[in-house]
Amino acid sequence: MNKDTLAINTLKINGIAAVNKANSGHPGIVLGAATMMHTLFSRHLIFDPKNPKFINRDRFILSAGHGSALLYAQLRILGLISENDLKDFRQLGSITPGHPEYGMTPGVESTTGPLGQGIAVAVGLATAETHLRSNYKEIDHYTYVLCGDGDLQEGVAMEAMSFAGKQNLSKLIIMHDSNDIQLDTPVSNVFNENLKLRMEAIGFEYILVEKNDVESIDQALKSAKLSQKPSFIEIKTVIGEGATKEGTSEVHGAPLGEDISTVVKALNWNHDLFFLPSEVTELYNDTLFKRSSEAVSNFKESEELKEFLSDNKDLQIHVNVAKNQATRVSSGEVIKFLNNNTKNWIGGSADLSGSTKALGGNGEFNQKNRKGRNILFGVREFAMGAIANGLALHSNFKPFVSTFFVFSDYMKPAMRLASIMKLPVTYIFTHDSIFVGEDGPTHEPIEHIAMLRSLPGINFIRPADENEVIGAYELAYNSKESPTAIALTRQNIISLEETSSSKIKNGNYKLIDNSSEWTLVASGSELANAVSIAKELNLNAVSISNYKGDVNWDTSKAITIEAGSTYGLSKFGSYNIGIDSFGESGEGNLVYKHFKLDRDNLKKRIKEIIE
């Protein structure tokens, strides 16, 4: 048997054996996509298992994350995980979880599973590579994706691919496991796009591989690498190839069980199901290992790149920010400081930089200026979030993205993945309350504070003024292990003496201590009124602009004030002043009054509660 075939069979049998042993997982893609996986890894990928973090390695993203067993079988051939790891597939505490998890398994470049996002993450990786290559000539690698039919139906994938086409990220290569089957039905029952036309329409090179064999796929990958455009390779495969129910959705997500013998027989597999033939290891020694270790040896890292990659020091932000201005404006000034004082702060907005004041440095990132760190994402919020994840995953970037707070909704799935992966992405959300005013309920966040505070692992900060804005950005930029979302006002605020750029970083903190039994608790634009009323009525005041930390006050005599949902605020106070309905369209101040959040109404309401 030729070594390629043996390697493919090894991937197949090891993979479906892992699924069988776990009695859970997806055998269909293992059998259908093993050939493209092997072809890519053995013939093209630059990835040295001895240096899995080598900066100039090709990146490989399994966007069809449910195919994790296939990826693990591959990583086992590379020696990155052991036979036992493979046998522990999907077991609690193993390094081979149900979907690939970044940081859990060596060789896994991104957490994937939620469909479409892997493609967008890969676009982010390719963006990072393209930008770095313009600064450091020695950077020059490909980003490969393996995706399924479901990925291509997701809007986030289409947004990201449209961006990649526009940006002409020519070193991005997507391999499409085109098996005509999805979970509920044949693909043709729900999707009849002409992929060739669509790819050409969006600026991709389209390559069709009708014969699912090593030579054909190899040829396609060679063409793709030579193309001056990003490439999309549609490879016709058979889901669950070799199983009795091959070509049907029944082999997608259920273990083969006893039918594994059908495959074993068809492939003439005479070993233990988890066996790794030495010929396969030899093949990889002669190909991937050799090619990649040479690439590592030959790589000459410039001092400049070394400096970029090792820059890990905490930054202190020194900006003279004017008082009493909208926090989005203060934010814009801090962003300029970051643009001027860092090299890894990169990002932009979903076509709202004029409003969010969030622009990256060095001009617009485009084909003429790859050094640009201001990325025009277009009106593609979800892809923007996922692309930022890819930027962060690449190496040492601190990506930021920006839109109106209400549209955090569109990006939430990417924010969740950033939180799971502990990526230091900064989300800059302006227009953070009903104070948006005239644009009305569709543009006025209500429940979004609760949505992000309840998301594990993310810092959520809603600064009251420029002091807290600076603290928020120091926390965000210096973060190593978590994303940070910053909610900012559209309207001018009242700057406070008592706010602190350092205290806010630790969580909530007391601003006014009148030793009263009553405490006013507020964040963002409501804090100024809380402080002023606390002073007048001799109460205490606490900032929950960063809501973390212990609660060191009597919550039974605390009143929370926030221009958003009161959901979650009973933790901080028994009385909650907020908005549990949708907003209104009208002049901001009038809307604020309508919801009885202006100072006069607040004072009245607070006095009523206390008395």
Span from 95-103, 133-141, 303-311, 506-514 in contact with its own copies (CB under 8 A): 95-103
Distance, CA of 52 to chain centre:
21
Of 112-120, 232-240, 305-313, 389-397, which segment contacts its own copies by CB under 8 A?
Answer: 112-120
| 379-438 residues near its own copies, rule: CB under 8 A | 379-383, 406-407, 409-410, 412-413, 416-417, 419-420, 437-438
Give the list of residues 6+ apart from residue 395 with CB closer than 8 angstroms, or none: 55, 128, 132, 309
**How many residues belong to the site for its own copies (CB under 8 A)?**
109
Report if residue 114 touches its own copies, rule: CB under 8 A.
yes
What are 236's strand-pairing partners? 178
Closest to its own copies by CB, 22 vs 55, is 22
Region near its own copies per CB under 8 A, out of 3-11, 284-292, 452-460, 537-545: 452-460
Site for its own copies in 256-295 (CB under 8 A): none
- When asked if residue 455 is in the footprint of its own copies (CB under 8 A), the reply is yes
Q: What is the DSSP string of 553-596?
A: S-GGGEEEE-SS--TTGGGT-SEEES--S----S-HHHHHHHTT
Tell me how far apart the alpha carbons of residues 75 and 103 are, in angstroms, rounded to a whole number.
14
Kindly state the tokens that stand for 59.
């990146």
Site for its own copies contains 378 (CB under 8 A): yes
- Interface with its own copies, residue 600, by CB under 8 A: no
11 or 156, CB closer to its own copies?
156
57 in contact with its own copies (CB under 8 A) = no
The residue (of 39 and 182) whose beta carbon lies closer to its own copies is: 182
Q: How far is the CB of 121 from its own copies (least distance, A)?
A: 13
- Please give the C-alpha separations between residue 580 and each of 490, 528, 530, 563, in angstroms, as whole numbers: 21, 22, 20, 9
Site for its own copies in 456-495 (CB under 8 A): 456-457
Rounded-to-integer distance, Cα 463 and Cα 526, Å:
10
Q: Residue 554: beta bridge partners? A: none
User: What are the DSSP calls for 406-456, one per residue?
Assistant: GGHHHHHHHHHHHHHHT---EEEEES-SGGGGGG-GGG--SSHHHHHHTST
3-state secondary structure of 378: coil
Reference 345, options 353, 354, 335, 355; nearest CA is: 335
381 is catalytic: yes
CB of 177 or CB of 465, closer to its own copies: 177
The answer to whether 20 contacts its own copies (rule: CB under 8 A) is no
CB of 438 to its own copies, least distance (A): 4
Subset of 221-250 contacting its own copies (CB under 8 A): 249
Q: For its own copies, which is the closer residue by CB, 396 or 574?
A: 574
Both structure tokens of 504: 């806010």
Among 443, 462, 503, 505, binds its own copies (CB under 8 A): 443
Query: Catalytic: which of 129, 381, 474, 498?
Result: 381
Q: Quick one: 125 or 420, whose CB is closer to its own copies?
A: 420
Stretch that binds its own copies, among 138-146, 196-204, 287-295, 317-325 (CB under 8 A): 196-204
Question: CB count, 10 Å around CB of 193?
Answer: 12
Least distance (Å) from its own copies to the CB of residue 560?
11
Stretch that binds its own copies, among 211-219, 224-232, 286-294, 448-456 (CB under 8 A): 448-456
Q: What does residue 375 show for φ and ψ, rounded to 5 degrees?
A: -100, 125
Asked if 84 interacts with its own copies (CB under 8 A), we say no
Residues in the chain: 611
CA–CA separation, 516 and 528 (whole Å): 18
Q: Is 354 near its own copies (CB under 8 A)?
A: yes
Q: Select the residue interacting with its own copies from 7, 16, 22, 220 (CB under 8 A).
A: 22
Q: Which is nearer to its own copies, 43 or 245 (CB)?
A: 245
Contact 45, 111 (CB under 8 A): no
562 Cβ neighbours under 8 A, 6+ residues apart? 449, 522, 523, 524, 526, 544, 569, 577, 578
- Per CB under 8 A, 183 contacts its own copies: yes
Radius of gyration, CA atoms only, the chain: 27
Q: Is 451 in the site for its own copies (CB under 8 A)?
A: yes
Give the β-pairing of 172-178 and 231-236.
parallel
Q: Rule CB under 8 A: which of 152-181 touch its own copies?
A: 153-159, 162-163, 165-166
DSSP three-state, residue 390: helix
- Stretches 50-58, 185-193, 220-228, 305-313: which one binds its own copies (CB under 8 A)? 185-193
Q: Compute the C-alpha angle 575/553/454, nearest 5°.
A: 65
| CA gap 121, 413 in Å, rounded | 12
Q: How far apart are CA 510 and CA 572, in angstroms?
A: 13
What is the spatial distance between Cα 184 and Cα 203, in angstroms, rounded to a whole number?
Answer: 31
Q: For its own copies, which residue of 203, 262, 342, 605 counts as binding (CB under 8 A)?
A: 203
- Nearer Cβ to its own copies, position 134 or 366? 366
Near its own copies in 549-578, by CB under 8 A: 565, 567-568, 570-571
Closest to its own copies by CB, 456 or 497:
456
Question: Which C-beta is closer to its own copies: that of 147 or that of 221?
Answer: 147
Quick check: 548 binds its own copies (CB under 8 A)?
Answer: no
Candidate segments 127-135, 309-317, 351-359, 388-396, binder of its own copies by CB under 8 A: 351-359
List, by residue number, the catalytic residues.
381
